[in-house]
Amino acid sequence: MRNKIVAGNWKMNTLVNEGVELAKSLNDYFVSNKPPAGIKLVIGVPFTHIDACVREIDYTVISVAAQNCSQFDRGAYTGEVSPEMIKSLGAQYVIIGHSERRQLFGETDEVISQKVALAHKNALFPILCCGETLKERQSGDHFEIVRQQLTDSLKLTDQFNIIRTVIAYEPVWAIGTGKTASPEQAQEMHMFIRKVLSELYSQPIADKISILYGGSVKPENASEIFAQDDIDGGLIGGASLKSEDFINIYKAI
């Protein structure tokens, strides 16, 4: 019923030629091993790589995502990249509100809500990230933190657009640390996220939304994470930089 999605987040890694090689090797594999209907593959590449990667891959098999976008349409915003520009290059998704953007670049839920709305306006699918820090989990506030992030980040998103949105739950303490949430911890939060979505929208809508898990997913742990009822795939950082690992994570789904 819901799409399963395996999305890579290359972050600020690879030069264009290296990124193109990686995209090509994934494309070769997935063109000869077409994913079944309902399984989507996405690569989240640096802005500088979008054009070259889109040209190299079969968009019916792999989609390209940007890793961020501006909350502004166009104008005097030096250094910003608008959703319309991203769309014009042929990307289909955009990662929004990644914890690195929140922590290192001061992105707030207010700004994130504007980015999500502008991505929708430009027919991009946002991959909206949420997740608690270690301190928030240890103090037992993790559910409330995630509820607040979702409520505030989705405040400009209506019933029509929410089903064009992917949610990624990424506990900050599990990103790039090698520490993965246990499958039970992840499932518990994913079920909670679906409940929040059902309260914000409706149960039938919540049941249609793909919720991805992110945080040190590797070929070795992907199967048990993806086996959980409310986990519809993964947002993969480090392991998405090696085509073999990304392919093996896909196989786990």
User: Which residues in this chain contact ligand PEP in the complex, by CB under 6 A?
Assistant: 9, 170, 175-176, 214-217, 235-239
Distance between CA atoms of residues 99 and 230, nearest Å: 21
Q: How many CA atoms lie within 13 A of 203 on its CB side?
A: 0
Name which of 179, 170, 175 is nearest 233 in CA terms: 170
Residue in 70, 73, 156, 138 with CA at minimum distance from that of residue 107: 70
Residue where the block lists tokens 């968009």: 59
The residue from 56, 107, 132, 170 that is catalytic is: 170
**What Cα–Cα distance (Å) separates residue 222 from each residue in 51, 182, 187, 212, 239?**
30, 11, 13, 12, 11
The DSSP code for 80 is -
Active site residue 98: yes
Catalytic residue among 98, 120, 142, 190: 98
Write down the least CB distance from residue 169 to ligand PEP, Å: 10
- Quote the strand ranges of the chain, DSSP E: 4-9, 39-44, 62-66, 93-96, 125-130, 166-169, 211-214, 233-236
Q: Residue number with the shortest CB distance to ligand PEP?
A: 237
Task: Record the tokens describing residue 138, joined without a space.
Answer: 């240890």
Query: What residue has token string 């090696």?
Result: 242
Q: Give catalytic residues, as residue numbers.
A: 98, 170
